[in-house]
Each structure stands twice: as structure tokens, then as C-alpha cells.
Amino acid sequence: MTATMLMRAAVLGLALGASVLPVQAQGMQFQFGLGTDGFGFRRPLVCIELTDRQIRNAVRDQGYRNISLNVADNRRIQVRATRGGWVYLLRVSTCTGAILSRERLRRS
């Protein structure tokens, strides 16, 4: 092999290696900090929002009754519900139905 053939082979190898690298780098992301779940993997940005009935059922399954949906805002919804003789104002995720915050308002 001559020097020019070796040089061409090296350039071709680098070009092929560089074209495969971005595809491999898109695989699994692993990082710590905000925006990650408990294992350090990034959460998907896609949110399929629950219907009103599914949100009511999720809140009911957590022990609340007399559920009223109030204001939906940015993947969250305000819910007024009673539990244990108290009326609560809840912030609920419209993606998962999880209660994000709870404020006790008054006795029912």
C-alpha cells in the first residue's frame, strides 16, 4: 500500500466514524439534577393529559369525595374536594393524576 492509499483509507474511516457517532449519542441520556426521575434518567416531555373523568377518579382513589374541578393551567388543574371533614384545594397533575400540593380551606 502506498502512503496516499493509507491516507485515503484513514480519511474515509474518520468520515464514517463521525457519521455514526451522533446516532449513538442520541440513545439513553443519564444525568442528575432537576428534570430527572429517581434514577437520573430524563423524563419524556410528552404528556397525554387525562380527561376530567380520569382526574376525578384519580383524586377519588386517593380518598377524596365531593370533587369539583376548577382551573386548568399548564398541565395542572385546581381541584376542590373534601376528606376527613375538611375541604381542600388541590393542585393535580393532568398528566398523571398525582396531587402536587394540598391546602386545607375550611371544615366541611
The amino acid at 60: R
> What number of other Cβ atoms are within 10 A of residue 95's Cβ?
14
Among 13-17, 27-31, 61-65, 75-79, where is mean pLDDT lowest?
A: 27-31
User: In the predicted model, is pLDDT for residue 44 greater than 70?
Assistant: no
Written as nine digits, the cell of 97 is 393524576
> For 32, how many CA atoms within 13 A lie in the half-sphere containing its CB?
0
We find that the CATH architecture of domain 52-107 is Roll (3.10)
Give the start-to-end residue ranges of the domains of the chain.
1-45, 52-107
Question: In the predicted model, what is the mean pLDDT of residues 35-55?
Answer: 74
User: In the predicted model, is pLDDT for residue 10 greater than 80?
Assistant: no
Instruction: Name the pTM for this structure.
Output: 0.57
Q: For residue 43, what is the DSSP state?
A: P
